[in-house]
A and B are shown apart, each in its own frame.
Chain A
């Protein structure tokens, strides 16, 4: 192609290059614009675009952009199907046309070089290149280079954007910074629209090529780009466009419709989620799924497959999938068989140790807030939580205990768990079956919450106090779980830090390893 040819020309000019490198790109631009005599100076400019020096590079980039934007405005670039340069020189074109074809070729090579610069090491250069490309795209959109099909003013520089996107979601480098810069341009509705469709295409192509194997860097870039897309919620919000249409009657294109946006968005995500994902990205997606993906989809139910698959994975991913499932069940009438049984089986010792504990309990609280749940189910949940509480850290205990109390309050039939006066004198073994997966068969309702009795001896004073509540009938008011969800241990300590007098140890300390039953002294020595 033409730029390749030009580059072949370059070495000839490189002798002059020492001189031209020092010349001002802006004055060069002025000269070119002044008259066509200086048209060949474009080569100098393009050469500067290859420069090593960052400053020169940046100034050359801006100069090129101004040059070609002006040319586009003047319509001095060839429109329509472009012939190869050699052909153009031979073919029957007027001198004017030849000149236009020449410039058009230079423009193409300039864009290509700018795209190359998107993978430069320096962020400044990258950023500038991106801005320049967007400017070019804007100018090109306004003055399309294609022969216009007048029935449809479809003049968006799709190819250019597609190329930008493909360069952004690099397979080798993490472009998250540049992508966050790009987010600013994504405010423009049409750009966003085409970016989304080009992401979909890109993902499809790349993943197909890799046969669905994991590509962490690429997928991470795509994910960053996709999460940076802010979807409009109403049609009236679609106001800023990159390519403004002139004329009284504004034709309506697909990117003017909110629904179309949603559709593209949905397709993009589905296209992305179709392939295998790294597990940490799985979690990230699940974390944002409920509030930044599901609401912008035209058919959120399409996510069911993804979510059920995630829910079946187990562990933290299941916990996170719960949130999306909740929205589907709550707002989109999803019928999920054995939902509660699965929820019940999610309760494992690790539940209290994961980062998403607060979110899980928030959702579990919502799921179990229905008063139409069978008693055996609620009792099973309470008993299982109590059993798990035996291994939980105090911060989790301070959530679990009120949680259990709330369950008992909501379902007074569960009160037998903490108060069974009919069998007061009996000594019974715990009939509860921890390993039983079906809450209906685990005999939780026949058991008592002895675990809470045990926790009355917990070392954390607040936990012990909370566990003491089962000694008396529970108050009618439910505890607000959401209040305690986010409190850390440290915050709790602060509350009690003030105290008047400090009790002191009674037994005189004599040696480091002595005292307190001499456990440390028995197993360890000083040296």
Chain B
């Protein structure tokens, strides 16, 4: 090992002396890292290695660090050299000295010296004042002058004559400090040098500065010469532009102003909440009202109201269109997007129609126009208005409905109206008042609409109303349970019941308190229950039900989910019980009147035309089932069945959906009217039978009654309770039922005219009418209706286009061009997340570092072992040498002694 190291160290020495290029060119030093294959464009750092160089570098480093530590290992003391820049090889020795000097100066610079402005600084050496030392130098100098001069001179000569200068000169400055002998000379020299140097530097700096200045000046001049070329063009252009710009700007400004004055740039309306939507819908109707009143007063103010009316018309139309379009979309079974579409759709329309804008304009203008004042008068000053109330129905009705509310409501209402303007201006600042107001409006709304077609109600005893007004409180707490509501409403007139519910709803508006929403939802459920109970009463109190409808509608608009749940549970119970009965008996009795009322209410509250609706679809299914599973056993059953048929026609009137049960039932009903059931030529569908006990229900017994019959509406209570004592009455009822049935058949014909199987669907009815019923004696109107239907059925086109599949888009051929994916990060692993990649990277790095550290440690220990070995060898060699020396000396001694002895002997 020792030998190897020696060799190495020798090699190192050699290497050190050689330049790097020499080494690189030496094939013995270079190790070429063989590549397995060439990769184009790859940069390789380590294609060539210099193992010798790197090894020697490493060894040197170890010697500097590890070896030193090893040497210091068991030493308690150690010498630390803190001289500035002592081991800094990069610093020039002169710099080192300068720095050290400066530091020394700073250290000596005490606080007290701050004020020591003019005094010269004391130069020291080794803490002693140089000045003082100079004083004693003469004596001291004389002592060692001879020796030192000799040395100095030798140096000087050496420096002057250039013999081996490099080394000695290098040593020079270092020695100056350590060797006090050369002090004076070197110091002077040093100072001179310093001065020289600083001067030189100064000069150099000055020269540089001048040069820079010169250059910049030159550059400036050059630039100017070029600039002249460039400038020649640009100023002209700029001028031209300027001149042109002026008119442009004006035009633009004008445009801007025009645009500014146009109202287009109004901020778009935010998405509307259901409440707002509901309000708008009701506003629509109110606008219609206003419209009507405006028309009547149009002559007075010819210009503005015209615009307003047009606006109102447009907005009403647009509003209706929104609803219609939405309905149509749901009818086609466009599910899923319902909820989202609903809102988006409306808002999109809003942008187009400028509905809000119109409303805004109209409102304010209506006020300005003084139209509102008239209404105000009608609302407020009811007493004075009394006289002129005959003028228009609307004011009358309003007054009537409102007269008990007026006192309290009036001001609030006005405020509400006012808030609309405000709200339109500042963008829905006060939702609460707005909601309230909307309700109030709805209130008026409904009142109006209810009252308009029923002017007779006007005459319903004013005194009574007055009395009720006195009795009814203005606020009602929402009922806790159904019985509360029942007790509350029971003893009032239908109108008052409605009023109570309305006030209840108002005083418990969700915006007023936290729990109100739940209360009103409960109220909705109770009301529905109440409606059912009203219908089951004997006689059924349908007038009240009729009055409560608007309230139900409003509540339903507020809480669709609660309404759905309530009605679904009602429907579900009845349908379930019916199904059970059917399972046992195979048939079931007709649904009771309350169920019929519920079905009608469902049709009023929810859209019947939807492709699939959580409430109306089950309701329609229920109707279908009732029409197939309930056998007709009496005229009462038949009436119920006809009500169901009417409902069914209403349900499908918009969507024109095919309802086979309806046709079957109507057909069966007509069959009941056929006298001679021997040769039919058609077959009847269950629940009707070809012939049997109840198969002659509609056959008129007395031909006299035919002539005396006149058509009038059947009461709904006939489904529940039908008392027909006399044959005449029975016949009347029969004929009415028949006419209803025929009318429904006619409506169905119209509804299903477009169906491809129209003729086949109505074939049996046609046979029945043309062969059997026409031969019977019937009132003229019925005969007419009947022939009309036959005509309609036979005139329908029988020929149709044969069925083919829908045309499909041809599937495009598969293209064979490769799919190109742009890869931007080569060499990186893809398909993992950023964190994973980072972790991978760190792991890799750790592994590399760990390996490197291991290798280093191994090398270190090898180095140390080598060092130890060499130490031991050295020691051994030393010992051997010494022993040999001793032996040698002893041998010489002995030799000398022997020689002496020999000589003595001689």
Q: Could you tell me if A505 and B606 are in contact, using CB atoms closer than 8 angstroms?
A: yes
Interface readout for B594-626 with A: 1 if CB under 8 Å, 0 if not?
000100110111111011111101101100110
How many A-B pairs have beta carbons closer than 8 Å: the answer is 262
B802 at the A/B interface (Cβ < 8 Å)? Answer: yes
**Complex interface: stretch among A30-38, A63-71, A389-397:** A389-397
Most buried by B among A350, A425, A524: A524
* Contact assessment for A490 and B579 in the assembled complex, using a CB-CB cutoff below 8 Å: yes
Tell me whether A523 and B760 are in contact (CB under 8 A): no
Contact status B339-A394, CB under 8 Å: no
* B716–A524 touching, CB < 8 Å: yes
Residue from the list A455, A457, A501, A509 in contact with B604, Cβ < 8 A: A509
B798-814 vs A, CB cutoff 8 Å, 1 = contact: the mask equals 11111111101000000
Known: A420-B803, A424-B804, A502-B564. A527 touches B760 (CB 8 A): no
Chain B binder among A123-131, A208-216, A297-305, A459-467: A459-467
Complex formed: what's the CA distance from A453 to B546 in Å? 40
Among candidates A457, A459, A464, residue contacting B620 with C-beta atoms closer than 8 Å: A459
- Pairs across A and B, CB under 8 Å, 10 listed: A394-B621, A424-B804, A428-B799, A429-B798, A459-B655, A459-B658, A493-B618, A506-B607, A523-B642, A527-B717
Q: Which residues from 463 to 496 on chain B have a C-beta closer than 8 Å to any C-beta of chain A?
A: none
Question: Which stretch in A17-25, A249-257, A469-477 binds the other chain?
Answer: A469-477
Does the CB pair A417–B803 fall under 8 Å?
yes
> Does residue B365 face the partner (Cβ distance < 8 Å to A)?
no
B641 to chain A, nearest CB (A): 12
Question: Is B549 a contact of A510 with CB atoms below 8 Å?
Answer: yes
User: For residue B576, which residues in chain A have a CB less than 8 angstroms away from its CB?
Assistant: 490
Q: A423-B802, A493-B575 are in contact. List 6 more A-B contacts (CB 8 A).
A: A390-B660, A460-B620, A472-B805, A512-B597, A512-B601, A523-B713
Q: Are A461 and B611 CB-contacts (below 8 A) given A391-B664, A421-B804, A488-B579?
A: yes
- Write the chain A residue with the least CB distance to B561: A502
Please, which residue of chain B has its CB at the minimum distance from the CB of A523?
A: B740
- Name the distance in Å between A432's Cβ and chain B's nearest Cβ: 9
Known: A523-B646, A526-B716. A430 touches B760 (CB 8 A): yes
CA–CA, A471 and B803, complex, Å = 9
- CB within 8 Å for A504 and B542 given contacts A349-B683, A428-B799, A496-B614: no
B628 with A517: CB separation less than 8 A: no
In the complex, whether B93 has a CB less than 8 A from a CB of chain A is no
> B339 touching A516 by the CB < 8 A rule?
no
Interface size class of B (residues with CB under 8 A): 35 or more
Q: Is B747 on the interface with A (CB-CB < 8 A)? A: yes
On whether the beta carbons of B625 and A519 are closer than 8 Å, the reply is no
Report A-chain residues with C-beta under 8 Å of the C-beta of B647. Answer: 520
Segment of A77-85, A360-368, A444-452 in the binding face: A444-452
Is the beta-carbon distance between B806 and A489 smaller than 8 angstroms?
no
In the complex, chain A residues whose CB is within 8 Å of the CB of B714: 523-525
On whether A520 and B801 interact (CB within 8 A), knowing A350-B686, A490-B579, the answer reads: no
Are B653 and A419 interface neighbours, CB within 8 A? no
Which are the 6 A-B pairs with shortest beta-carbon distances? A516-B650, A506-B323, A509-B604, A459-B657, A501-B339, A517-B653
Question: Contact: A454 with B658, CB < 8 Å?
Answer: yes
CA distance A391 to B805 in the complex (A): 25
B761 within 8 A of A: yes
- A16: interface (CB < 8 Å): no
Q: Is A387 in contact with B760, judged by CB distance below 8 angstroms?
A: yes
Asked if A506 and B802 sit within 8 Å, CB to CB, the answer is no
Q: Is A90 an interface residue (CB 8 A)?
A: no
Given A450-B757, A519-B747, A458 and B657 contact (CB-CB distance below 8 Å): yes
Check if A515 is an interface residue, CB within 8 A of chain B.
yes
The answer on a CB contact under 8 Å between B625 and A448 is no
**Separation of A504 and B601 alpha carbons in the complex (Å):** 12
Q: Does A499 contact B (CB under 8 A)?
A: yes
Task: Decide: A451 near B650, CB < 8 A? Known: A393-B624, A428-B799.
Answer: no
Asked if B760 and A451 make an inter-chain contact with CB atoms under 8 angstroms apart, the answer reads yes
**Cα-based distance from A493 to B616 in the complex (angstroms):** 11
Nearest chain-A residue to B805 (Cβ)?
Answer: A419
Interface residues of B in 774-799 (CB under 8 A from A): 798-799
A340 to B249, CA, bound (A): 92
Q: Which listed residue, B600, B610, B653, touches A503 by the CB 8 Å rule?
A: B610
A143 to chain B, nearest CB (A): 51
Residues of A within 8 A of B658 (CB): 454-455, 457-459
Q: B744: CB under 8 A from chain A?
A: yes
Binds A, one of B54-62, B155-163, B325-333, B517-525: B325-333
Q: Report the minimal beta-carbon distance from B449 to chain A, rounded to whole angstroms.
A: 5
Whether, in the assembled complex, B416 has its beta carbon less than 8 Å from a beta carbon of chain A, the answer is no
Is the C-beta of B563 less than 8 angstroms from some C-beta in chain A?
yes
Do residues B715 and A525 form an inter-chain contact, with CB atoms below 8 A?
Answer: yes
Interface locus among B265-273, B552-560, B884-892: B552-560
For B333, give its contact among A429, A454, A461, A504 (CB under 8 Å). Answer: A461
Contacting residue for B546 out of A417, A493, A512, A519, CB 8 A: A512
Bound together, the chains give a CA A89 to CA B275 distance in angstroms of 109
Min CB–CB distance A520 → chain B (angstroms): 4
Chain B residues near A504 (CB-CB < 8 A): 556-557, 560, 605-607
Residues of B within 8 A of A427 (CB): 799-801
Q: Which of A425, A426, A496, A512 contacts B612 (CB 8 A)?
A: A496
User: What is the distance, in angstroms, from A339's C-beta to the closest C-beta of chain B?
Assistant: 23
Chain A residue with minimal CB distance to B763? Answer: A434
Minimum distance in angstroms from A351 CB to a CB of chain B: 10
Contact partners of A490 in chain B: CB under 8 A:
575-576, 579
Residues of A within 8 Å of B713, CB to CB, are: 522-525
Residue B899 at the chain A interface, CB threshold 8 Å: no
Query: CB of B550 within 8 A of chain A?
Result: yes
Determine if B281 is an interface residue (Cβ-Cβ < 8 Å).
yes
In whole angstroms, what is the CA distance A490 to B740 when docked? 31
Residue A133 interfacial (CB < 8 Å): no
Task: Report chain A residues within 8 Å CB of B564.
Answer: 502
Contact across chains for B281 and A506 when beta carbons are under 8 A apart: yes
Q: How far is the CA of A448 from the CA of B271 in the complex (A)?
A: 50
Complex Cα gap A3–B649 (Å): 77
Residue among A449, A451, A516 facing the most chain B CB atoms (10 A cut-off): A516
Q: B446 interface residue, CB < 8 Å from A?
A: yes
Is B154 on the interface with A (CB-CB < 8 A)?
Answer: no
Chain B CB within 8 A of A508 CB: yes
In-complex Cβ contact of B614 among A353, A391, A429, A497 (8 A): A497
